[in-house]
Amino acid sequence: MDFSFPPEMVAFRRMVREFAEEEVRPLAATIDREDRVPWETIPKLRQAGLLGVPFPQKYGGAGLGEMGYCILLEEMGRVCTSTATFIGAHIGIGAMAIYLGGTEEQKQRYLVPLARGEKLAAFALTEPGAGSDAAAIRTRAVRDGDRYILNGTKIYITNGSFADIISVMAVTDPALGARGGVTAFIVEKEYPGYKVGTIEDKMGIRGSATAELIFDEVEVPAANVLGQVGLGFVTFMQSLDVGRVTLGAACLGGAETALEMAIRYARVREQFGRPLAHLQSVQFMVAEMAAEIEALRSLVYRTAWLVDTKQPFTKEAGMCKLLGSEIASRCVDRAMQIHGALGYSRDFPLERMLRDSRIAELFEGTNEIQRIVIATELFREAGVRIRP
């Protein structure tokens, strides 16, 4: 067993860290305050080839697999959760759905420009009446010759306000429901009837755009069915699985930053005549943070290895997301406790990190859903089939 990263991954991390420090960190507070997407970063991400990291080179990617993609999001998570979220929605679930479920023709047409960063992606599943209960979606797709007509509304769609290519789930057969009645489609933003609705005013990740998408008689060519008709859930659940691993990686990055800040501050801040580092209460917090981070790091990169070696990873992906989001939240919370009132100040990044970290417990499947995913897999291994 060898736990060291191969040389290209070490070099890739070095490049991404420098990029994150030079190009992303300086904007993190600004985009949060100004409530806007870091537009100026996107061409730089494209130039550095960071918008298609996991995909094979023949599809315009860098061919660095899930491990490279985890490194990317860990490093972005260290400096800016909004930027990590933008990349995650573009690569991890938007483009990933096309990579996992698309035909060769769809990949050439849609995945290649996405992986090169010439086009940007979003992934549209959630609806007003269907969040955790994804099977309750009501967006309808009705076949009409060689096309489908889509009607419905999606909400909370990351990158929704500007995405060029959107992977969308819609009901093709209401009688069959989630098992055979839901289909995934590739929608281009130019299709008539496709509209961006309201932009969400959020507590955190304010530098990422979360939008409502409206489908009003949108004609989608039948050639844009992603995967098989009726099996949309399979395609989407596979992308979500992959996305959960890297969401864990982004959380790992956030937790690491919180720990580094806590240590740095505890070294210099003096109370009762000596640095905080000498107080046992602070030592305990720092030790627990470090132990959790180390465990998370092992879990995330082992799961990335499962993905890259084509082994089952659904259970572990749920664990990455569940533990990652909770560990990140706890670490940021502890770092704030160590900083005292200073940590609560808006002049300091911790309050932003606290607001940003909370979303990871909610999106890409709430942590309750992750527990169900993990338990379902555990019971499946024991011969029991859990039904929702």
Q: Which residues of the shown chain bind another protein in the complex (CB under 8 A)?
A: 6-8, 11-12, 14-15, 18-19, 44, 47-50, 52-53, 57, 61-64, 68
Q: Which is nearer to another protein, 175 or 268 (CB)?
A: 268
Please name the residues in contact with 190: beta carbons below 8 A apart, sequence gap of 6 or more.
none
Length of the chain: 388
For residue 199, give both structure tokens.
Answer: 């932009």
Q: Which is nearer to another protein, 49 or 230 (CB)?
A: 49
Give dist(CA 184, CA 231) in Å, integer.
Answer: 8
Listed in sequence order, the DSSP H helices in the chain are 7-19, 25-34, 42-47, 65-79, 81-87, 96-101, 104-106, 112-115, 232-268, 280-308, 314-339, 341-344, 350-358, 367-381
Give dist(CA 242, CA 187) in Å, integer.
Answer: 21
State which H helix or E strand residue 154 sits in.
strand 147-158
Q: What is the CA radius of gyration of the chain?
A: 21
Provide the terminal-to-terminal Cα distance of the chain, rounded to the nearest Å: 38
Give residue 145's region: left, alpha or beta (phi > 0; psi -120 to 50): left
CB of 10 to another protein, least distance (A): 8
Active site residue 364: yes
Give dist(CA 360, CA 346) in Å, integer.
Answer: 21
CB of 128 to another protein, least distance (A): 38
Q: Which is nearer to another protein, 44 or 202 (CB)?
A: 44
CB of 379 to another protein, least distance (A): 40
C-alpha closest to that of 253 among 82, 2, 90 = 82
Residue corresponding to tokens 């998370």:
296
How distant is the alpha carbon of residue 193 from its chain centre?
28
Q: Which is nearer to another protein, 91 or 289 (CB)?
A: 91
CB of 44 to another protein, least distance (A): 8
Q: Which is nearer to another protein, 12 or 215 (CB)?
A: 12
- CB of 373 closer than 8 Å to CB of 53: no
CB of 105 to another protein, least distance (A): 23
* Catalytic option among 75, 326, 364, 377: 364
Give dist(CA 383, CA 351) in Å, integer.
Answer: 46
C-alpha closest to that of 339 among 256, 273, 77, 347 = 347
For residue 388, give both structure tokens.
Answer: 């929702």
Q: Which is nearer to another protein, 58 or 346 (CB)?
A: 58
CB of 140 to another protein, least distance (A): 40
CB of 60 to another protein, least distance (A): 9
Q: Which is nearer to another protein, 99 or 236 (CB)?
A: 99
Give the residue numbers annotated as catalytic, written as ranges: 364
